[in-house]
Structure 1
Amino acid sequence: MTTSAPLSPATAPDDAGPDGGSRLILVTGASGYVGGRLVPKLIDAGHRVRTTRRDESKEQPWWADRVETVTMDVNDADQVRAACEGVDVVYYLVHGMGGKDFVEKDREAAEIMRDAADEAGVGRIVYLSGLIPPEAPEEELSDHLSSRLEVERILSQAQASVITLRAAVLMGSGSTSFEVIRQISERMPLQTVPTWMDHLVQPIAIVDALEALVASADVDSPTRSYDIGGPEQLRYPELLSRYAELAGLTRPQVDVPLLPTKLVSVLAGRMTDVPAPVVEALLDSLHHDMVCQEQDFVRDLLPQGYELMGLDESIRRSLADPRETEPADPDAADPMGPMPHDPSWAGGGDQSLFQRAADTARDVLPGRD
């Protein structure tokens, strides 16, 4: 297959690939929460899809027989170049969340992808990032958000036009943001809220984010970023209260001043099944308002007349019990609910409050082995 020529900055990809057929789309991070839900939508849109995986022994998603799958480590330049060969559009959905060197690894991976995309003549790169609080100096951003911004800037140096979608809290069963809310609310009799957490957030339903992601392959735009968020802005403590109410839980809130972020992150990480580095990164972002500066993504990326899902509906649809509602045909499943490829800690996890509390005490209290 021949590769497409690089696009000028103001040109969007054509609907057809260079050979006149459907375009070839590379989805990195396809085994993740967003990627696993995005791939079927790209297939339904008529695209040919190539996905990447690092671990060949890992169980394949249900849609694997409809895509081409290649082995690729994002920090292996040869593998990335091979994965980009003949590709028209790249979805870059990989990022580090933990480890002492995740910033350096993310930087290196972005540089490798930028160079490989240039070499392959990729026409469009779509990157899913995090909302950047406009009022916060860059030096005050968390390592997580700083790294996301750095990756965005590196990818934007590519010859391809690059569309970055910046999201805060993704609502949906299996989303790390949602699972932290769910598991903390279900396992703790009180909602202990540090005063530094009293900032605005603008959650977006995963189904709305997927619509924007699919459209990003085609939007006629030069390199730019879009903030994406749902129809409602609210303070994070109110989001916790709304979840508890809709989940049928009674969870009084207690405001606690002067709680160190690190302590809260450690405790929250221990009280949930979500990987601790992910929890820490999410909580770090709550020192600032995480809301959209503009809502122009609705105009540019969503069908005319499209209505964003309201917060209450997104919570209700996310609360489906995976042990009761996993469909026989995943293609017919609601992306807001559980899906077969979701991690074991999705759906509320499966560890009892007593066991989780005992493990937390053992790990964080002094004098414990």
Structure 2
Amino acid sequence: MRVAVVGASGYVGSRLAPELLRRGHEVVATRHRSAADHVTAYPWAGDVEWRRVDVQDEDAVIAALDGVDAVCYLVHGLDDADFMERDRRAADNVAYAVGVVGATRLVYFSGIVPDLPDDELSDHLLSRLEVEEVLATADCPVLTLRASMVVGAGSTSFEVMRQMSHRLGVVQTVPAWMAGSVIQPVAVADAVWFLAEALERPDVTGHLDVVGPDRLSYVALLRTYAAEARLLRVQLPVWLAPVGAVARVAGSLVDVPSGTVQSLIPSLGHDMVGEQDAADVLGEPAEGRLGVAEAIRRSLAPGRAGDGTPDGAALDGDPQAPSAGDPPWSRHRSVLEWVWAAARGR
């Protein structure tokens, strides 16, 4: 099968491409026309057909999807102030293009959306839901896979947790509005397995939740990370922590782009657990799903890409591990390195 991975230069796409290649599929990998050339560092970059595309341009999307059998849509815009409008327009272009080129399968990787009125959802979650609804109009079988936090070295949400855990010191203040929220993280290795399975199962439509086996509070998640990273950390809930202020502070403390962090933080006040487990429909990975502790442990394994450690995006690598193609902000820096870089304005 010829599969287009729209957003292959992103984190999940970088781990999905080798999974599809391992299964014997041909991969058409798309990236934005202005995307950096760092994607050539992915070990599989020479094994796919690259096509540059601006998803805001309908004709360009049609051209990029020409000749494919299935499409996996992984594009999410959080940095732009008008990301909701841009995501809506891009989804409309993809839904239309799928019908024009005659693709027979469309899979979208989204976020778990709590069952709440729209006015109680963050813009981030509301946008994911709108994109899902637009893509569902495509002229082929469509499935949305929803996930909460994706655990893996290089994942945006994982890197925010990692960098905050290392930089906040022994006593970590946790806003009370998120401390008790329950989350069901999924290892990236399992996420890409479910995506590949979904692409091969056009009989399954609607939406399913891609989750790991553990449900835990955000405080418990932070404690699990600290234990696996061998950090002494104490979480202290605080009540006077407005969402906007927390988002701004978090954005200034990590290397992840500030706009992305500020868009993600408001969603942490919601429970993010699966209600329709994808495993009940698509089955389980051969060795079962990774628990949170093991997923974190593998993501923190000694060694970095380029030092002889297998690349996380290699066909024979561990998807949990870092890749040479991951963005620079995902490189772990010690507190001293971070302070020195911050002092120099980097």
Q: What TM-score do the two structures reach when normalised by structure 1?
A: 0.86
Contact 2:228 2:297 in 1 (8 A): yes
1:327 aligns with 2:305: no
Task: Quote the residue 1:27 is aligned against.
Answer: 5
Task: Quote the residue 1:338 is aligned against.
Answer: 322
Shift of 1:353: 4.3
Identity, in percent, stands at 43
1:119 aligns with 2:119: no
Contact 2:145 2:207 in 1 (8 A): yes
3-state SS of the aligned residue for 1:248?
Answer: coil
1:276 aligns with 2:258: yes
Shift of 1:76: 1.2
Find 1:186's aligned residue among 153, 159, 166.
Answer: 166
CA offsets 1:41-89 (integer angstroms, 9 cap, x no match): 1111111111112237614132122111111111111110111111110
If you compute each CA radius of gyration, which structure gives the higher value, 1 or 2?
A: 1
Contact 2:190 2:285 in 1 (8 A): no
Distance (Å, rounded) in 1 between the aligned partners of 2:221 and 2:284 = 28
Contact 1:133 1:290 in 2 (8 A): yes
Contact 1:219 1:300 in 2 (8 A): no
Amino acid corresponding to residue 127 of structure 2 in structure 1: S
Contact 1:326 1:338 in 2 (8 A): no
Task: Quote the residue 1:348 is aligned against.
Answer: 332
Greater alpha carbon shift after TM alignment, 166-175 vs 298-307: 298-307
CA offsets 1:96-144 (integer angstroms, 9 cap, x no match): 012221111111100111111111111110100000112x211111111
Distance (Å, rounded) in 2 between the aligned partners of 1:305 and 1:45 = 14
Contact 1:171 1:205 in 2 (8 A): yes
Distance (Å, rounded) in 2 between the aligned partners of 1:304 and 1:286 = 28
Runs (5+) with no aligned partner, structure 2:
none
Task: Quote the residue 2:144 is aligned against.
Answer: 164
Shift of 1:344: 0.9
Aligned residue-pair number: 336
Distance (Å, rounded) in 2 between the aligned partners of 1:264 and 1:216 = 36
Q: What TM-score do the two structures reach when normalised by structure 2?
A: 0.92
Distance (Å, rounded) in 2 between the aligned partners of 1:325 and 1:248 = 24
| Residues 325 and 239 of structure 1, relative CA distance in 2, 3 Å threshold | farther
Amino acid corresponding to residue 209 of structure 2 in structure 1: D
| Residues 349 and 125 of structure 1, relative CA distance in 2, 3 Å threshold | farther
Shift of 1:350: 6.2
Task: Quote the residue 2:131 is aligned against.
Answer: 151
| Residues 274 and 164 of structure 1, relative CA distance in 2, 3 Å threshold | same
Contact 1:73 1:79 in 2 (8 A): yes
| RMSD between aligned residues | 2.0
3-state SS of the aligned residue for 1:331?
Answer: coil
Distance (Å, rounded) in 2 between the aligned partners of 1:57 and 1:253 = 38
Runs (5+) with no aligned partner, structure 1:
1-22, 363-369
Find 1:253's aligned residue among 224, 230, 235.
Answer: 235
